[in-house]
Structure 1
Amino acid sequence: MTNSDFDAYRPPEQPRRKRRRDRLSGAAGDMLRRRRRGGDDGGREMSMVDDVEFTSYYGRPIVKAAPWGDEISAYLFLGGVAGGSGLLAFGAQMFDLDDLRRNARFAALGAVGAGTVCLIADLGRPERFLNMMRTVKPTSPMSWGTWILSAYGTVTGIAAVSEADDVLGEVLPLGPLRPMLRTAADTSGVAMGFLGAPLAAYTAALLSMTSTPTWAGARRGLPYLFVSSATAAASGLAMITTGSEQTKPARLLAITGAAGELIAMDLMKKDMHPLEREPLEIEEPGRKLKLAHALTIAGGVGTLLFGKRSRILAAASGAALMAGSALTRFGVVEAGHLSTTDPKYVVGPQRDRLEERRAAGIVDDSITTAG
């Protein structure tokens, strides 16, 4: 017998038990066989094998974990901040809140730029990002996200350059292009408002359309969680960078986003199978999400009570909202990775859903009739 490096994964074999053959015949043998089938009348049959606990092949994971690390978690957070800041900038543009509009546009540009760097760092080579722009696949959240991110970055850059030109006293060498830039900046501000929500939400679809058990189980509630979290984080950043005299829209949005994040998380968990929900509540992901929950509550309450009265407390509340949003993204991503490590997270929900379909009388498809 030859050995290889792969034999290290092979568990030790258990000694085989000799099969005991029933040598009874006649009436005694017939009675014993009827009992094994489940009754003396022979009308019921028992399972040919014992009900055993499911284990995967050599104890290896059934579902391969997504190759996404902290860079993607940071991208999810920064993309949410960028999208929420675009929405705030659009609102400030509509109500002539110049300071809030300018700071929100700068925040959106900084967040989308840093998020793009994180995304490219995860891809490994910058040209891979460009390769994703060669085609448009309507069924792929990643393809949609690439184009949304690129379009949002373009319009945000135009709006931010216009703001920078104003701040610097029109020292940029724009010449006759300056009036065109002003017009383009207003149009870009409107586009930022419309593209902000898709930028914050598409990452939820990107996660939930994978085979990762926890992400797939959260597919109904995850978009609401990410959008609410992004709104709270962007509003918190606006409260840090802008004086309280112009942050009333940001404060209202921060309170709404914080409440929406808490409600969305609760409803999302209730909608999930217990085994799909478990990774969100245990080990490191559970600790991060509990801390995110506490920070979101603290930031929302602080904004409600002190957002207008004190610039320092408003900034502290905004920082708490941003930290809570970041921990939410990191916790959800890590919970998904954790759910691929144990076969029970994959098999348990599938078995229960199969039984539910059969109990509901759905027995005419390949799912319920297999086996």
Structure 2
Amino acid sequence: MHQLIVSPFLGQNVLVRPGRRGGALLPDTLYEELRNLDPAGLAPAWFVDAVQEQWDDLNVGEQRMRDFLLVRHPSTWGYGKASWEINLGCNYDCKHCYLGLKMKAGMPWEDKKRCLDIMAETGVLFLQMTGGEPTIDKDFMRAYRYAWELGMMITVSTNGSLLWRENLLRLFRECPPYRVTVSMYGAAKASYDELTQRPGAWDQFVQGMNAARHARLPLRMSIVVTDDNGHEEQAMVDLCESWGVEYEVFTNMTPTIYGGGEVLTAQSKEHLRVRKTFTGCNAGHTFFHMDPFGLVSICKIGRDDQISLPNEGIEGLARLGEIADRLMLRTGGCSGCSIAGSCRVCRPLAKHYQEAKAPLAAYCQHGDKKAG
């Protein structure tokens, strides 16, 4: 089982280590050298030195390359990252959830496996596995292991409620994740259980976090600030810092993927923050998203004109770039806007807000008091 991965990534060649940060860039000549070496032999001295310089706890000088190194092949497709909702089902029912319906449905295992093969063929190195709550999916563990064995650096986005389970901890020991991102919904039982609408959710979260920290998983917290827990924002930050876990604070809620505005009522108006100007992204060109049924879109927000990966195969992705360009240029309800060049959200997200009949202040500069 590999400890290191060498892979093409967005026009470069990278050396990375599952479960660890950092890495190194390799020139084409050295990448090709590794690609053509006998995997039963020892690694060249320059490679051993590069590994030691990056991770001083790992000495590969005496090991055959096939025992620690996975060298991935180039792809002509140019993708480097992807996200996958393995299931929309969840053991919570959070008031702010942008997914709306919590459907426990998805593809059969063979289709999931085929889609992961296609992702690897397109060049995907960094994969986010999300949901819903991904760890409740019946195929999560074998899908995670299969993606890991294909040479993907995996981020698991979770509510943390099941991280105490020994089968999950054993999986993460054997196949280290790149990151485990845990959503945090409060700093105390009352607010946490209220927002998740699940009695006992706080207790599960604490149990999961204690186990994850003890296992030294590469944790990152997403602090979600809403009307129910806004008074605990600093307490949530303090708790993350006491745990020694890095964090990011999220205060702006978004409509559901179906354009529903009901979840916006969870927004804390006092904590609403002005977004930075949207300067563009590579959604659909170097990144894509896949839902539980294998439907590929440019991202989690822009889900129009989806491509069925199980039905169309890798060739279907040839349309994704054109779809991305069209969705990003669409003006919709913003036709003729004089300040569109400094818009704070992308067009697909603005469309969701408009469908949800959200107040302009939630997403548009025209809602600013000074603009009124």
Q: TM-score range by the shorter chain?
A: under 0.3
TM-score (norm 1): 0.25
TM-score (norm 2): 0.25
Instruction: From the two aligned structures, give the one with the greater strand fraction.
Output: 2
